[in-house]
Amino acid sequence: MKIGFIGLGNMGAPMAANLVKAGHDVIGFDVAGATAEGASVAKSAAEAATGADVVITMLPSGAILRDVADQIIPAMTNGAVFLDCSTVDVDSARAVAEQAQAAGLSALDAPVSGGVGGAAGGTLTFMVGGDDTGFAKAAPLFEVMGQKAVHCGPSGNGQAAKICNNMILGVTMIATCEAFALADKLGLAREAMFDVVSTSSGYSWSMNAYCPAPGVGPQSPADNGYLPGFAAELMLKDLGLSQQAADAADADTPMGAAALELYKRFVEDEDGRGKDFSAMLPRFEKRARS
């Protein structure tokens, strides 16, 4: 396929490079001048979109997505697929989809899980909202860039799935870190704690696959000085999106709201910016009960 790829940051560049390696004709554009290995370079977002079978965007916010959509939709070919892999608010995803569909395009919102490692390794999971025709056309690209793509329903449902998933992740990571800090103060060895919880009812991805305690469980950012895998400020962004959606849907999410406030404090007031989201553990280690 001929693919336009807009947004060649830490996630977008390796995703685009994997498409090139799979034999697709990729032309990329990034406002900061970043490039992807093997991809041609466009002078503008509209140039990257012109004549493309699929245009993929990987952008930092809903406002930027809306702006880029205004630039590229008029340049896209009727019947092409607008595949947005950004993590943005549901309202922006649905507004852009409506705009694309009115122009004769298929629109997919397909945020990803798996981080920079998954982008480089082609092992991302895509949570996809949008029409069946677009999903079928994009399926071969999902197979190159990831290991799984789940069609979650109409436009906006991919974003809904992502923010619900990451709300769970933020809450369970905080609970996991709190539990390790409590175990320390009760004199329970971390390895014993892990051995029990990882095979008991406290089992979670945060404990079993991404343990926040250094030297315990599989290798994780905790073993690398909490350099991100998934930065705390990105978790803050996703929790903010979850609470924005909860407000709009009139959904009661007290744990999600509490997680948002804790990560906000951690990132903005407690030197958490630039650290992995699991660095909540050393935060709790240093704190007494308030």
Q: Which residues are catalytic?
A: 162
CB atoms within 10 A of CB 287: 11
Which residue bears the tokens 């000085």? 225
Nearest of 12, 105, 100 to residue 60 by alpha carbon: 12
The phi and psi torsions of 48 (rounded to 5 degrees) equal -65, -30
Residue 27: how many CA atoms within 13 Å on its side-chain side?
17
Structure tokens at 22: 């799979």
The DSSP-derived string for 107-128 is EEE--EESHHHHHHHT-EEEEE
Instruction: Identify whether the C-beta of residue 200 lies closer than 8 Å to the C-beta of residue 282.
Output: no
